[in-house]
Structure 1
Amino acid sequence: MNTGKTPNRSLLYVALLAATLMAPGPSYGVEPDEILEDPQLEERARLLSQDLRCLVCRNENIDESNAELARDLRILVRERLVAGDSNDAVIDFVVDRYGEYVLLKPTTTGANWLLWAAGPIMLLMSLLTAGVFLRGRKRASETPETELSEDEQKRLKEILDR
């Protein structure tokens, strides 16, 4: 027989709901003073910022990063958009200034094609090497063993008798 008090289930549900609501959500690095007044330009800036890498945080886009350089890049993107640049022109400007590493999704032009093709090329080379190796092993096991000649048998007997 349980003599202790049982907790009220509705109180537990309320506590769980409160804990869930107080849990931290995703935080963005965009500060209120950076946000543009024109909602269309701000939306374009956010889309562009998601494709640009924070050079301090490495694998984080500048929209989520709190680094100073990411803030500078966000402001630069917004300045270029206010100046009337297209999305491609803004990306080209940032890439010209900071290099192609700033793109989270690098292009497949220039020397980057080798990086994109390296994985499949290495896979094909390893499959080819494995095929040649297995074919060679199969041929080696198919060759019949030859008996020793009489001279070889005499020489072997002399060596073993010593």
Structure 2
Amino acid sequence: MRGLLALLLAAMAMPLVAQGNAPPAPYAYRQLDDPAQEAAAQELMETLRCLKCQSQSIADSDAPMAGDMRHQVRIRIAAGEKPEDIRSWLMQRYGDYVSYAPVVSARTWPLYALPVVFLLIVGAILWRRFRRRA
């Protein structure tokens, strides 16, 4: 029984071991040959958040996932895709959190509307209080 359990645990750990030994994507650390394309890729990478580090852009992070994202950005820029299309693709794949540039959508509009509503409520309360005193 112990042998079977050890074999099962070893089989479950194999994907983790294989993932750690995978070489980085080709364009994770290598720049594009065209300086204009590399500048566009770099500009986009600085506005995308590393999902592992969460406080760094993918341009600054050394995490393997950030390297894969840099690779994707560079090959898509080299293929002629527009930076906003690449940003949209990454946001569909990883969620809105990946972008430092927030987008107003059906899910995020309350984040923009609620502060305005709170300010209006506070303003109305203060106006009524000062009106009573006068």
TM-score scaled by structure 1? 0.58
Question: Structure 1 residue 41: deviation in Å?
Answer: 1.1
Deviations 1:88-145 (A, max 9, x none): 2211111111111111011123222221222222112112123334445x39xxxxxx
Structure 1 runs (4+) greater than 3 angstroms displaced: 133-136
Does 1:98 find its partner at 2:99?
Answer: no
Q: 2:128 aligns with which of 112, 129, 132?
A: 132
State the distance in 2 between where 1:129 and 1:83 align: 57
Question: Structure 1 residue 72: deviation in Å?
Answer: 1.2
Q: 1:88 aligns with which of 70, 74, 84?
A: 84
Query: Cα distance 1:133–1:106, how it changes in 2: closer, same or farther (>3 A)?
Result: same
Q: 1:44 aligns with which of 40, 45, 70?
A: 40
Looking at CA atoms only, which structure, 1 or 2, has the larger radius of gyration?
1
Question: AA paired with 2:59?
Answer: D
Contact 1:59 1:104 in 2 (8 A): no
State the distance in 2 between where 1:67 and 1:32 align: 10
Q: CA RMSD in A?
A: 2.2
Query: Cα distance 1:57–1:105, how it changes in 2: closer, same or farther (>3 A)?
Result: same
The count of aligned residue pairs is 108
Structure 2: give runs of 5+ residues left out of the alignment: 1-26
Contact 1:51 1:61 in 2 (8 A): yes
TM-score scaled by structure 2? 0.69
> Which residue does 2:70 correspond to in 1?
74
Contact 1:45 1:77 in 2 (8 A): yes
Three-state SS of the structure 1 residue aligned to 2:123 is helix
What is the aligned-residue identity percentage? 31
Structure 1: give runs of 5+ residues left out of the alignment: 1-30, 140-162
Q: Which has the higher contact order (CA 8 A, sep 6+)?
A: 2
